[in-house]
Amino acid sequence: MKIALTSHQEKFIEAKMKTGGYISPDEIVREALRVYELVEQDDSDPALAAALRHSLRSPLKKYRPGHFSSLAKDNGR
């Protein structure tokens, strides 16, 4: 599967690659899709959705692969 990204999205992925923690751009896209899927599935849990949105906006936190999956598991998902 091939996808087209905007230049902003490409720069975002490149920046994430430079910070480490990700092996490939594919890994970053998969993590983003996992987060999106969790938000979509858990719209009925406002606390989890708020925590995910807050975490995504935080410039101070560096994420590791599986970070949001762990958060969902910690919340009984």
Specify the pTM. Answer: 0.52
Q: What is the largest CA-CA distance in the chain?
A: 37
Q: Which two three-digit tokens encode residue 72?
A: 């969902």
Q: What is the pLDDT along the chain (77 residues), one digit of tens a residue?
A: 899 999 999 999 999 888 878 889 999 999 888 888 877 775 667 777 777 777 777 666 666 667 667 666 665 65
Contacts of 34 (CB under 8 A, 6+ apart): 68, 69
